[in-house]
Amino acid sequence: MGLLRRGPRRGRRRGWLDMPRLPGLKNGESRQFCVQGHDTLATGRDASGDCCVCSKERRKQYRETFLKRAAAGEIKSRPFCKRGHEIAVVGRDKTGVCRACKSDKERADRPRQRVQEQAWRDANRELDRERRRAYNKANPDKVKQWAKTTHARHRTRLNAKQRERNTGWTPELYDRAVEVQQGRCAICGKVPKGKGISGILHADHKHGTEPKQPRELLCTNCNRALGLAQESVAILNSMISYLIRHDEAPVL
Protein backbone atom coordinates (compact mmCIF):
# COMPACT_ATOMS: atom_id res chain seq x y z
CA MET A 1 0.00 0.00 0.00
CA GLY A 2 1.14 3.52 -0.72
CA LEU A 3 4.69 4.63 -0.62
CA LEU A 4 6.44 1.54 0.77
CA ARG A 5 5.04 -1.12 -1.56
CA ARG A 6 7.19 -0.75 -4.68
CA GLY A 7 7.13 -4.29 -6.02
CA PRO A 8 9.69 -7.11 -5.86
CA ARG A 9 12.09 -5.50 -8.34
CA ARG A 10 12.58 -2.35 -6.30
CA GLY A 11 12.67 -4.32 -3.07
CA ARG A 12 15.35 -6.64 -4.48
CA ARG A 13 17.45 -3.69 -5.63
CA ARG A 14 17.22 -2.06 -2.21
CA GLY A 15 17.93 -5.36 -0.51
CA TRP A 16 14.73 -5.36 1.55
CA LEU A 17 13.73 -8.85 0.52
CA ASP A 18 16.98 -10.21 1.93
CA MET A 19 16.33 -8.71 5.36
CA PRO A 20 14.56 -10.80 8.02
CA ARG A 21 11.01 -9.60 8.59
CA LEU A 22 10.08 -8.41 12.09
CA PRO A 23 7.37 -10.35 13.94
CA GLY A 24 3.91 -9.02 13.17
CA LEU A 25 4.89 -7.08 10.03
CA LYS A 26 2.91 -7.60 6.86
CA ASN A 27 4.02 -7.39 3.27
CA GLY A 28 4.73 -3.84 2.19
CA GLU A 29 5.42 -2.55 5.70
CA SER A 30 8.72 -0.96 6.64
CA ARG A 31 11.48 -3.16 8.05
CA GLN A 32 13.24 -1.94 11.15
CA PHE A 33 16.76 -2.12 9.70
CA CYS A 34 17.95 -1.02 6.27
CA VAL A 35 20.60 -2.82 4.20
CA GLN A 36 23.40 -0.94 5.96
CA GLY A 37 22.01 -1.90 9.37
CA HIS A 38 20.57 1.50 10.40
CA ASP A 39 17.61 1.39 12.75
CA THR A 40 14.92 3.10 10.65
CA LEU A 41 12.58 3.37 13.62
CA ALA A 42 15.03 5.94 15.01
CA THR A 43 16.42 7.44 11.80
CA GLY A 44 13.19 7.31 9.77
CA ARG A 45 12.58 6.77 6.07
CA ASP A 46 12.04 9.33 3.34
CA ALA A 47 9.02 9.56 1.01
CA SER A 48 10.42 6.85 -1.27
CA GLY A 49 10.90 4.41 1.63
CA ASP A 50 14.72 4.69 1.73
CA CYS A 51 16.66 4.99 4.97
CA CYS A 52 17.28 8.68 5.70
CA VAL A 53 20.90 8.06 6.74
CA CYS A 54 21.67 6.12 3.57
CA SER A 55 19.96 8.75 1.39
CA LYS A 56 21.99 11.50 3.05
CA GLU A 57 25.24 9.60 2.46
CA ARG A 58 24.35 9.02 -1.20
CA ARG A 59 23.55 12.71 -1.71
CA LYS A 60 26.81 13.70 -0.05
CA GLN A 61 28.79 11.31 -2.24
CA TYR A 62 27.06 12.58 -5.38
CA ARG A 63 27.69 16.19 -4.36
CA GLU A 64 31.41 15.56 -3.82
CA THR A 65 31.67 13.80 -7.18
CA PHE A 66 29.82 16.62 -8.93
CA LEU A 67 32.05 19.29 -7.39
CA LYS A 68 35.20 17.40 -8.38
CA ARG A 69 34.00 17.01 -11.96
CA ALA A 70 32.97 20.66 -12.11
CA ALA A 71 36.38 21.78 -10.77
CA ALA A 72 38.14 19.57 -13.33
CA GLY A 73 36.11 21.12 -16.15
CA GLU A 74 34.30 17.90 -17.03
CA ILE A 75 30.93 19.56 -16.32
CA LYS A 76 30.19 22.92 -17.93
CA SER A 77 27.58 25.18 -16.38
CA ARG A 78 24.81 26.15 -18.81
CA PRO A 79 23.17 29.63 -18.70
CA PHE A 80 19.67 28.05 -18.86
CA CYS A 81 18.23 24.77 -17.63
CA LYS A 82 16.15 22.45 -19.79
CA ARG A 83 12.94 24.23 -18.80
CA GLY A 84 14.34 27.66 -19.63
CA HIS A 85 15.11 29.02 -16.15
CA GLU A 86 18.08 31.37 -16.07
CA ILE A 87 20.67 29.78 -13.76
CA ALA A 88 22.28 33.15 -12.96
CA VAL A 89 18.96 34.25 -11.43
CA VAL A 90 17.55 31.11 -9.77
CA GLY A 91 20.85 29.29 -9.14
CA ARG A 92 21.56 25.61 -8.64
CA ASP A 93 21.54 23.50 -5.50
CA LYS A 94 24.57 21.61 -4.21
CA THR A 95 23.85 18.69 -6.53
CA GLY A 96 23.68 20.92 -9.61
CA VAL A 97 19.89 20.83 -10.05
CA CYS A 98 18.07 24.03 -11.04
CA ARG A 99 16.47 25.45 -7.91
CA ALA A 100 13.34 26.60 -9.75
CA CYS A 101 12.77 23.14 -11.27
CA LYS A 102 13.40 21.49 -7.92
CA SER A 103 10.93 23.78 -6.17
CA ASP A 104 8.28 23.16 -8.84
CA LYS A 105 8.71 19.39 -8.57
CA GLU A 106 8.60 19.40 -4.78
CA ARG A 107 5.50 21.61 -4.85
CA ALA A 108 3.78 19.30 -7.32
CA ASP A 109 4.73 16.10 -5.48
CA ARG A 110 3.87 17.35 -1.99
CA PRO A 111 0.08 16.70 -2.08
CA ARG A 112 0.54 13.21 -3.51
CA GLN A 113 3.21 12.35 -0.93
CA ARG A 114 1.03 13.60 1.92
CA VAL A 115 -1.87 11.43 0.78
CA GLN A 116 0.38 8.38 0.51
CA GLU A 117 2.00 8.99 3.88
CA GLN A 118 -1.36 9.48 5.60
CA ALA A 119 -2.72 6.31 3.98
CA TRP A 120 0.27 4.36 5.26
CA ARG A 121 -0.17 5.82 8.78
CA ASP A 122 -3.85 4.89 8.81
CA ALA A 123 -3.00 1.31 7.83
CA ASN A 124 -0.07 0.97 10.26
CA ARG A 125 -1.01 2.97 13.34
CA GLU A 126 0.87 0.87 15.90
CA LEU A 127 4.05 0.75 13.81
CA ASP A 128 3.82 4.50 13.19
CA ARG A 129 3.50 5.17 16.93
CA GLU A 130 6.48 2.93 17.63
CA ARG A 131 8.59 4.77 15.04
CA ARG A 132 7.59 8.15 16.46
CA ARG A 133 8.43 7.11 20.02
CA ALA A 134 11.83 5.78 18.94
CA TYR A 135 12.62 8.95 16.99
CA ASN A 136 11.51 11.22 19.85
CA LYS A 137 13.63 9.25 22.30
CA ALA A 138 16.69 9.36 20.03
CA ASN A 139 16.33 13.09 19.16
CA PRO A 140 14.95 14.94 22.22
CA ASP A 141 16.60 18.26 21.36
CA LYS A 142 15.24 18.29 17.80
CA VAL A 143 11.74 17.38 18.99
CA LYS A 144 11.81 20.10 21.65
CA GLN A 145 12.96 22.73 19.16
CA TRP A 146 10.38 21.60 16.60
CA ALA A 147 7.58 21.82 19.17
CA LYS A 148 8.72 25.28 20.22
CA THR A 149 8.86 26.70 16.69
CA THR A 150 5.61 25.00 15.64
CA HIS A 151 3.72 26.36 18.63
CA ALA A 152 5.12 29.86 18.02
CA ARG A 153 4.06 29.71 14.37
CA HIS A 154 0.55 28.44 15.13
CA ARG A 155 0.06 29.93 18.62
CA THR A 156 -3.34 31.54 17.92
CA ARG A 157 -4.87 28.43 16.36
CA LEU A 158 -3.47 26.07 19.01
CA ASN A 159 -4.63 28.29 21.89
CA ALA A 160 -8.12 28.51 20.39
CA LYS A 161 -8.25 24.73 19.96
CA GLN A 162 -7.11 24.13 23.54
CA ARG A 163 -9.62 26.71 24.85
CA GLU A 164 -12.47 24.98 23.04
CA ARG A 165 -11.41 21.56 24.34
CA ASN A 166 -11.04 22.69 27.98
CA THR A 167 -13.82 25.27 28.38
CA GLY A 168 -16.23 24.79 25.48
CA TRP A 169 -15.53 28.26 24.07
CA THR A 170 -15.40 28.22 20.26
CA PRO A 171 -13.41 30.95 18.44
CA GLU A 172 -16.65 32.50 17.13
CA LEU A 173 -18.22 32.58 20.61
CA TYR A 174 -15.07 34.10 22.12
CA ASP A 175 -14.87 36.87 19.50
CA ARG A 176 -18.57 37.67 19.93
CA ALA A 177 -18.19 37.85 23.74
CA VAL A 178 -15.23 40.22 23.42
CA GLU A 179 -17.34 42.49 21.19
CA VAL A 180 -20.36 42.40 23.55
CA GLN A 181 -18.23 43.08 26.66
CA GLN A 182 -16.23 45.73 24.76
CA GLY A 183 -13.00 44.04 25.84
CA ARG A 184 -13.76 44.46 29.57
CA CYS A 185 -13.92 41.98 32.42
CA ALA A 186 -17.45 40.84 33.32
CA ILE A 187 -16.79 41.34 37.07
CA CYS A 188 -14.51 44.34 37.61
CA GLY A 189 -15.25 46.04 34.27
CA LYS A 190 -11.58 46.79 33.58
CA VAL A 191 -9.68 46.25 30.32
CA PRO A 192 -6.83 43.77 30.90
CA LYS A 193 -3.38 45.32 30.62
CA GLY A 194 0.04 43.74 30.80
CA LYS A 195 2.06 41.08 29.06
CA GLY A 196 1.25 37.42 28.56
CA ILE A 197 -1.85 36.05 30.27
CA SER A 198 -2.31 39.30 32.24
CA GLY A 199 -3.24 41.14 29.05
CA ILE A 200 -6.02 38.86 27.80
CA LEU A 201 -9.56 37.95 28.79
CA HIS A 202 -9.95 34.41 30.10
CA ALA A 203 -12.84 32.20 28.99
CA ASP A 204 -14.72 31.27 32.17
CA HIS A 205 -16.97 28.20 32.30
CA LYS A 206 -19.01 26.28 34.83
CA HIS A 207 -16.95 23.48 36.32
CA GLY A 208 -18.22 19.96 36.86
CA THR A 209 -20.62 19.99 33.92
CA GLU A 210 -20.55 17.98 30.71
CA PRO A 211 -20.69 19.34 28.09
CA LYS A 212 -18.82 22.48 29.14
CA GLN A 213 -21.03 25.52 29.82
CA PRO A 214 -19.31 28.84 28.92
CA ARG A 215 -20.16 31.84 31.13
CA GLU A 216 -18.38 35.15 30.43
CA LEU A 217 -14.88 36.55 29.94
CA LEU A 218 -12.86 37.56 33.01
CA CYS A 219 -9.54 39.22 33.64
CA THR A 220 -6.71 37.28 35.25
CA ASN A 221 -7.28 38.55 38.80
CA CYS A 222 -11.05 37.93 38.82
CA ASN A 223 -10.62 34.51 37.25
CA ARG A 224 -8.07 33.54 39.90
CA ALA A 225 -10.24 34.95 42.68
CA LEU A 226 -13.14 32.72 41.66
CA GLY A 227 -10.86 29.72 41.65
CA LEU A 228 -9.33 30.51 45.05
CA ALA A 229 -12.81 30.99 46.49
CA GLN A 230 -13.78 27.59 45.07
CA GLU A 231 -16.65 29.33 43.22
CA SER A 232 -18.60 29.21 46.46
CA VAL A 233 -21.26 31.88 46.98
CA ALA A 234 -21.06 31.35 50.78
CA ILE A 235 -17.30 32.01 50.82
CA LEU A 236 -17.66 35.11 48.64
CA ASN A 237 -20.49 36.50 50.84
CA SER A 238 -18.37 35.85 53.92
CA MET A 239 -15.49 37.73 52.32
CA ILE A 240 -17.80 40.69 51.58
CA SER A 241 -19.10 40.73 55.17
CA TYR A 242 -15.53 40.57 56.43
CA LEU A 243 -14.49 43.62 54.41
CA ILE A 244 -17.59 45.61 55.44
CA ARG A 245 -17.07 44.75 59.10
CA HIS A 246 -13.49 45.93 59.08
CA ASP A 247 -14.28 49.07 57.09
CA GLU A 248 -16.91 50.27 59.59
CA ALA A 249 -14.85 49.79 62.76
CA PRO A 250 -11.73 47.86 63.70
CA VAL A 251 -12.49 44.66 65.59
CA LEU A 252 -9.20 44.56 67.53
Residues 48 and 134 grouped into a single domain: yes
Same domain as 188, residue 134: no
Q: How far is CA 119 from the centre of its chain?
A: 19
- 121 and 1 fall within a common domain: yes
The answer to whether residues 120 and 26 belong to one domain is yes
pLDDT at 43: 79
Asked if 132 and 227 sit in the same domain, the reply is no
Model pTM score: 0.43
13 pLDDT exceeds 70? no
Residue 98 lies in a domain: no
pLDDT in tens, 191-225: 998 887 888 899 998 888 888 889 999 999 999 99
Q: Based on the domain organization, do 134 and 181 belong to the same domain? A: no
Let me know if residue 100 belongs to a domain. Answer: no
Q: Do 53 and 175 belong to one domain?
A: no
Count of CB atoms within 10 A of residue 30's CB?
21
Evaluate whether residue 10 is within a structural domain.
Answer: yes
- What digits encode the pLDDT tens for the residues 18-54? 444 444 444 444 467 787 888 877 778 776 677 888 8
Q: Who contacts 176 (Cβ-Cβ below 8 Å, separation ≥6)?
A: none
pLDDT in tens, 225-249: 999 998 899 999 999 999 888 887 6
Has residue 73 been placed in a domain? no
Q: Could you tell me the CATH number of the domain that includes residue 228?
A: 3.40.1800.10
Q: What is the pLDDT of residue 136?
A: 92
Do 132 and 174 fall into the same domain? Answer: no
For the stretch 80-139, pLDDT in tens is 777 777 766 677 776 777 777 877 777 677 777 788 888 888 899 999 999 999 999 999
pLDDT at 9: 45
Give the helix, strand, coil percentages of the chain, each rounded to 5.
55, 10, 35
Q: Are residues 132 and 27 in the same domain?
A: yes
Tens-digit pLDDT profile for residues 133-192? 999 999 999 999 988 888 778 888 888 888 888 888 998 999 999 999 999 999 999 999
Asked whether residue 106 is assigned to any structural domain, the reply reads no
- 4 and 45: one domain? yes
Same-domain check for residues 132 and 198: no
- The count of structural domains within the chain is 2
Task: Indicate if 230 and 120 belong to the same structural domain.
Answer: no
Residue 202 to residue 175: CA distance in whole angstroms: 12
Instruction: Classify strands 213-218 and 202-206 as parallel, antiparallel or unpaired.
Output: antiparallel
Q: Which domain holds residue 199?
A: 169-248
pLDDT at 219 (0 to 100): 93
Is 121 part of any domain? yes
Has residue 207 been placed in a domain? yes
Residue 149 one-letter amino acid: T
Question: Smallest Cα–Cα separation from 62: which of 70, 50, 73?
Answer: 70
In a domain, 209, yes or no: yes
